[in-house]
Amino acid sequence: MALEAPEIKNMILEILPGAEVQIQDMRGDGSQFAAHVVSSEFIGKNRVQQHQMVYKALKGKIGAELHALSLQTSAPE
């Protein structure tokens, strides 16, 4: 079963409360999403570490319920 944008956002917010999370369904069919996540938890972490934090929030669903995710992360300016 495919995930929906609000579900993906909620999973990320569970791990990164207070983050700004934008999710876009790239194809309109629930198979490919783009996410932009801004969190103060990313301060001092490199891009790989930031992405690992988001992937952890998705609990192994990438490749299963979530076919593809384009991810952009950053710390607040």
Structural domain of 28: 5-74
Query: Tell me, what's the pLDDT at 31?
Result: 77
35 Cα distance to chain centroid: 5
Domain of residue 61, CATH code: 3.30.300.90
| Overall domain count for the chain | 1
Task: Output the CA torsion 37→25→3→53 (10° steps).
Answer: -20
* Rounded average pLDDT per 10-residue block, the chain, 77 residues: 85 96 89 93 97 88 73 95
Query: Tell me, what's the pLDDT at 66?
Result: 72
Handedness of CA 47, 43, 3, 63 (dihedral sign): positive
Query: Tell me, what's the pLDDT at 10?
Result: 95
Give phi and psi for 49, each to the nearest 5.
-65, -40
Model's pTM, two decimal places? Answer: 0.87
